[in-house]
């Protein structure tokens, strides 16, 4: 008779393996949701309980966390101090509780933050946990409907943190078919919320710091006046067991994205109006033959059927592969997610953790690359959202409700190029407005600046009010008439391992150094080192690290350890953008020239659009300001004739790059 084996005689490491594989199998049910089998094992005996408890064996729970959730983003963005077994166990507990509450339909704003941070770290697993286990899409729909309430008791726009997190989470799980799957009543209510934000965008945060400040962070003694400036709320959270200060994402951008998606779905469901075919020339050739200007049927059909912004949601993973039986090998399931993965959200993440305080000395040392040079180079298309001017003016006088104002959508087409000021060249000083702030109504450029495009073998000049022909360029020189300084900006070359001309690449090689968030915070020149590498394949990814005042202290001591994110400097100290409507679309939608600039602190892009032909000034000069979010450039536009300290005629826009090969 074989001897009986007592459970208490089995070694701890064997119980750890049993507990792990009891929660890991080829079945989807073992992957989805919190670990459930451990509690049954823990009841066997006190010794078994000790072997599988969180307190005595965080190593077990860390491995379960790596199996159930994505860790690639955290590995890139944090030092090893955030990824200890204790930290992963704490995060597993936090997420498990949040998923259970979401599944049960219990609302807690902390769970919205947990879900949003999971999305920012998603490589496939996190989103599967939210959607397949917790039913997150139904949960969000319930939250949106509940917060609408009755017409007299709407809970929307009372808590800006909840407002923006709900909409960003909705965007993160939306695909192109999402609007068609929504009940009609819910869809109408949602559109009403989005419509209100887009129409009255001046009432909601759209930037992370005043757009009248180009050079950030500010010295603490510097006083600024920013009338009407609305900043997104700042929150303090616990993430991987460590305190984290983070700013909520701006609501105006996500409202624009969601409203564009809803509008595109409506266009998909709507047949092309036959009246248009009878009123307009069919093609551009027909228009030329008839001596007519403006859009043709062909132009309108292209916008109606083909202009579609990229959505955030991709396919979920095929649940998970069978677990790796080499228990102590590489974490199970690593890399099983989407092809692009969480790297799409790195800039968003770094912006949220680093752009919550504009004062010198208060910067976050976890700051990484917020804007990658070359990101705006390429052909862009999208839509502009605008209200009737008379009704909008009535809204400003508080005589009209936003819901009564319709939104007109018109096409946007841009061909843009980036030009980089490379060390040791000195960049332009920001232009100043009449009130002493940085001149956002001129895209932070000096008034009267003269752009000279250096081309081989041609030399061609333009001003902010004159023509601007963009051919193959080596560089742009810009004269500031106020200071007499001429700054050189080398043109970024896409689809190339050498993104600049040969002489410019020599400058880059000399200027490239490894820098960290701590160095950025201590640097007296706030522009230096904020832009990351230009995408050179020889460059390295961001590298998190930890420094301590004394290595004898515990790695968990937040008072003694400082986390920094190091990355390879691109040598770029300033970025200018030039562009035009493009020959194909200018006859239909207007021939415009574009000059712009990128604010290094948060990656805010400002583009000044003005008619190429001075005789067409009646078309107006507008400034477009916004951020890049996962392939979409989205934000707010406004006309420039109204003084900067007053609310002008404004609206929303979103464009996407339609030449994916033209990348960094």
Instruction: Please give the full DSSP string across 29-87, using - where no structure is assigned.
Output: HHHSSS--SHHHHHTS-HHHHHHH-TTT-HHHHHHHHHHHS--HHHHHHS-GGGSSHHH
Q: So what's the pLDDT on residue 27?
A: 64
Residue 49: give the domain boundaries. 1-143
Q: Distance from CA of residue 455 to its chain's centroid?
A: 34
Note whether residue 260 is domain-resident. Answer: no
| Confidence label for 460 from pLDDT (cuts 50, 70 and 90) | very low
**In the structure encoding, which two tokens stand for residue 192, read together?**
């009403």
Q: Dump pLDDT digits (tens) for 261-295.
A: 999 999 998 888 777 888 999 999 999 999 999 99
Q: How many domains does the chain divide into?
A: 2
Tell which wins on pLDDT, 84 or 513. Answer: 84
Lowest-pLDDT range, 356-360, 490-494, 633-637?
356-360
Walk across the sheet containing 561-568 and list its strands. 514-516, 561-568, 543-548
Q: So what's the pLDDT on residue 110?
A: 97
Lowest-pLDDT range, 141-150, 359-368, 445-454?
359-368
**In the structure encoding, which two tokens stand for residue 570, read together?**
């691109």
Give yes or no for residue 48 having a pLDDT over 90: no
Q: Are 280 and 300 spatial neighbours (Cβ–Cβ below 8 Å)?
A: yes
φ/ψ (deg, to 5) at 85: -60, -40
Note whether residue 64 is domain-resident. Answer: yes
Residues 6+ apart with CB under 8 A from 390: none
Burial class (CB in 10 A: 0-12, 13-18, 19+), 158: exposed
Q: So what's the pLDDT on residue 580?
A: 97
Can you tell me the mean pLDDT for 42-70?
75
Lowest-pLDDT range, 29-43, 421-435, 521-535?
521-535
Note whether residue 81 is domain-resident. Answer: yes
Burial class (CB in 10 A: 0-12, 13-18, 19+), 660: exposed
Can you tell me the mean pLDDT for 552-579?
71
Burial class (CB in 10 A: 0-12, 13-18, 19+), 499: buried
Mean pLDDT of the chain: 82
Q: So what's the pLDDT on residue 563?
A: 63
Q: So what's the pLDDT on residue 365?
A: 78
Task: Give buried/exposed letters for 61-96 (b at 16+ CB in 10 A, else e).
Answer: bbbbbbbbbbbbbbbbbbbebbbbbbbbbbbbebbb
Q: Are 87 and 135 spatial neighbours (Cβ–Cβ below 8 Å)?
A: no
Give yes or no for residue 567 having a pLDDT over 80: no
Maximum mean pLDDT: which of 144-148, 463-467, 573-577 = 573-577
Lowest-pLDDT range, 303-317, 418-432, 577-591?
303-317
Task: Give buried/exposed letters for 309-328 (b at 16+ CB in 10 A, else e).
Answer: bebbbbeebebbeebeeeee
Note whether residue 67 is domain-resident. Answer: yes
Give yes or no for residue 184 having a pLDDT over 60: yes
Instruction: State how far the Cα of 246 lies from the Cα of 243, in Å rounded to an integer.
Output: 10
Closest CA to 449 of 432, 472, 425: 432
Q: So what's the pLDDT on residue 455?
A: 72
Q: So what's the pLDDT on residue 325?
A: 34
Instruction: State how far the Cα of 588 lies from the Cα of 601, in Å rounded to an integer.
Output: 37
Q: Distance from CA of residue 213 to its chain's centroid?
A: 20
Can you tell me the mean pLDDT for 73-83?
93
Tell which wins on pLDDT, 635 or 272. Answer: 635
Place of tokens 């009841």: 43
Q: What is the pTM of this model?
A: 0.87
Q: So what's the pLDDT on residue 278?
A: 85
- Of 108, 143, 178, the residue that ends a domain is 143
Can you tell me the mean pLDDT for 637-651?
95
Instruction: State how far the Cα of 52 lies from the Cα of 39, in Å rounded to an integer.
Output: 9
Q: So what's the pLDDT on residue 467?
A: 42
Q: So what's the pLDDT on residue 355?
A: 95
Can you tell me the mean pLDDT for 568-592?
91
Give yes or no for residue 634 having a pLDDT over 70: yes
Note whether residue 368 is domain-resident. Answer: no
Can you tell me the mean pLDDT for 198-213?
95
Give yes or no for residue 574 having a pLDDT over 80: yes
Q: E strands of 335-474, at which residues?
A: 378-387, 407-422, 450-454, 459-463
Give yes or no for residue 248 having a pLDDT over 70: yes
Q: So what's the pLDDT on residue 549?
A: 43
Can you tell me the mean pLDDT for 90-107?
97
- Of 143, 161, 186, the residue that ends a domain is 143
Note whether residue 497 is domain-resident. Answer: yes
- Of 118, 143, 168, the residue that ends a domain is 143
Can you tell me the mean pLDDT for 217-221?
73
Q: What percent of the chain has pLDDT over 70?
A: 73
- Let me know how many helices (H) and strands (E) the chain has, helices first: 22, 17
Tell which wins on pLDDT, 317 or 499. Answer: 499
**What are the angstrom distances between the C-alpha of 405 and each of 393, 399, 402, 411?**
11, 11, 6, 20
Tell which wins on pLDDT, 469 or 131. Answer: 131
Instruction: Give the three-class secondary structure for 368.
Output: coil
Note whether residue 496 is domain-resident. Answer: yes
**What are the angstrom distances between the C-alpha of 636 and each of 207, 253, 276?**
9, 8, 29
Instruction: Please give the full DSSP string across 571-591, using - where no structure is assigned.
Output: SEEEEEEEEE--TTTHHHH--
Q: Distance from CA of residue 43 to its chain's centroid?
A: 46
Note whether residue 343 is domain-resident. Answer: no
Q: So what's the pLDDT on residue 400?
A: 72
Give yes or no for residue 330 having a pLDDT over 50: no
Q: So what's the pLDDT on residue 336?
A: 31
Residue 245: count other Cβ atoms within 10 Å of its Cβ: 16
Q: So what's the pLDDT on residue 404?
A: 81
Q: So what's the pLDDT on residue 271?
A: 83
Instruction: State how far the Cα of 356 lies from the Cα of 5, in Å rounded to an integer.
Output: 59
């Amino acid at each position: 008779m074989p001897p009986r084996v007592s459970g208490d005689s089995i070694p701890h490491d064997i119980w750890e393996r049993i507990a792990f594989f009891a929660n890991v199998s080829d079945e989807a049910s073992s992957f989805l949701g919190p670990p459930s089998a451990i509690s049954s094992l823990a009841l066997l005996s006190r010794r078994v309980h000790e072997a599988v408890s969180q307190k005595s064996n965080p190593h077990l729970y860390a491995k379960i966390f790596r199996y159930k959730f994505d860790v690639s983003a955290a590995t890139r963005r944090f030092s090893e101090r955030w990824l200890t077994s204790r930290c992963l166990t704490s995060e597993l507990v936090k997420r498990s509780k949040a998923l259970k509450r979401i599944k049960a339909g219990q609302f807690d704003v902390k769970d919205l933050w947990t879900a949003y941070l999971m999305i920012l770290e998603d490589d496939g697993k996190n989103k599967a946990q939210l959607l397949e286990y917790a039913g997150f899409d139904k949960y969000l729909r319930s939250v949106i409907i509940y917060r609408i309430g009755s017409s007299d008791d709407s809970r929307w726009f009372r808590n800006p943190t909840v407002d923006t997190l709900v909409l960003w989470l909705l965007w993160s799980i939306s695909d192109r078919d999402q609007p068609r799957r929504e009940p009609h009543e819910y869809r109408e209510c949602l559109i009403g919320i989005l419509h209100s934000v887009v129409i009255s965008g001046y009432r909601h945060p759209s930037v992370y710091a005043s757009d009248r400040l180009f050079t950030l962070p500010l010295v603490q003694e510097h006083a600024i006046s920013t009338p009407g400036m609305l900043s997104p709320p700042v929150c303090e959270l616990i993430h991987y067991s460590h305190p984290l200060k983070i700013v909520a994402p701006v609501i105006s951008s996500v409202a624009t994205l969601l409203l564009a998606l809803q509008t595109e779905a409506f266009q998909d469901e709507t047949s092309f109006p036959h009246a248009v075919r009878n009123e307009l020339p069919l093609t551009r050739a027909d228009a030329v033959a008839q001596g007519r200007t403006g859009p043709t049927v062909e132009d309108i059909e292209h916008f109606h059927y083909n202009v579609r912004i990229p959505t955030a949601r991709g396919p979920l993973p095929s649940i998970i592969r069978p677990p790796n039986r080499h228990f102590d090998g590489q974490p199970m399931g690593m890399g099983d997610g989407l092809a692009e993965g969480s790297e799409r959200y790195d800039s968003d993440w770094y912006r949220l953790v680093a752009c919550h305080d504009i004062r010198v000395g208060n910067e976050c040392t976890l700051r990484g690359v917020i804007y990658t040079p070359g990101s705006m180079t390429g052909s862009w298309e999208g839509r502009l959202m605008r209200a009737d001017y008379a009704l909008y003016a009535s809204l400003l006088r508080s005589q009209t409700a936003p819901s009564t104002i319709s939104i007109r959508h018109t096409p946007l087409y841009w061909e843009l190029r980036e030009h980089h000021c490379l060390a040791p060249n000195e960049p332009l000083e920001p232009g100043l407005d009449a009130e002493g702030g940085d001149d956002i109504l001129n895209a932070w450029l000096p008034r009267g600046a003269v752009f000279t495009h250096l081309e081989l073998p041609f030399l061609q000049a333009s001003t902010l009010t004159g023509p601007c022909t963009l051919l193959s360029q080596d560089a742009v020189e810009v004269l500031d008439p106020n200071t007499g300084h001429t700054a050189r900006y080398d043109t970024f070359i896409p689809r190339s391992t050498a993104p600049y001309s040969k002489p410019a690449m020599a400058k880059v090689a000399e200027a490239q150094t490894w820098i960290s968030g701590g160095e950025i915070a201590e640097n007296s020149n706030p522009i230096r080192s904020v832009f990351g590498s230009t995408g050179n394949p020889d460059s390295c990814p961001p590298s998190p690290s930890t420094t301590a005042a004394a290595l004898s202290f515990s790695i968990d001591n937040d008072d003694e350890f400082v986390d920094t994110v190091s990355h390879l400097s691109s040598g770029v100290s300033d970025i200018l953008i030039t562009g035009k409507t493009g020959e194909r679309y200018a006859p239909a939608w207007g021939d415009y020239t574009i000059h712009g600039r990128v604010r290094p602190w948060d990656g805010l892009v400002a583009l000044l659009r003005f008619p190429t032909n001075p005789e067409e000034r009646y078309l107006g000069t507008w400034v477009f300001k916004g951020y890049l979010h996962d392939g979409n450039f989205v934000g707010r536009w406004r006309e420039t004739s109204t003084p900067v300290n007053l609310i002008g005629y404004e609206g929303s826009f979103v464009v996407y790059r339609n030449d994916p090969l033209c990348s960094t």
